[in-house]
A and B are shown apart, each in its own frame.
Chain A
């Protein structure tokens, strides 16, 4: 398959895909497993959409790719929908989310121990907003649920994978003192 062809296929699928498009999926549909070739088409599109005048951009997120409105366009999209689509998480929610993201899988008692206060209500909100999910049960007394982050979390935070979370090292240095 030629580069041109790959570019147009990717562009078309990006437009219609409601979820981050996985390259594997595209390769399967096209019966074309040339990973390097697809990567080339991808970087072409990435550059193509990265012009300053573009209102949309190509984002590598949740190990896939998708077309999104640029962050600077938020205000206009909001006015267009005439409502705020972005959920305003509380400070407590960000704390719990940080604890889960960096320590998953983790139970509610463990989360409470780190924060020094009960977090049940926040957990419920995060579950409702699909930022976290139950990943299993811990094999201790009471078999408490284990929680982890979701693909939706990666998408909402624009992360390709958990490895892209802000690094924790600089804080560890402090602990070593």
Chain B
């Protein structure tokens, strides 16, 4: 759980959300840009998940471990779910669906960081 990674995830998520909203406003479906952005976001989240699991395995424990694990698993699934859904959505609203998923990631990553820093005894 490094702040650099959290910021990188946030920036990517925000850009992806903006791209999604932009495609809806432009009345277009999602394109390669969105898929690439989602792939980058997912890659960052996977790095973060691996890092967190390594730290957990070394014995570091956030105060609320079950919640932390729930967020860690949920956040990794979100971009995948967003892309799968957006690709089956044949209207310009596909971008908005992706934007919602990206926005949720952007919020959840900070909650995740918060949970991690609240280290329990």
A, B assembled together:
no
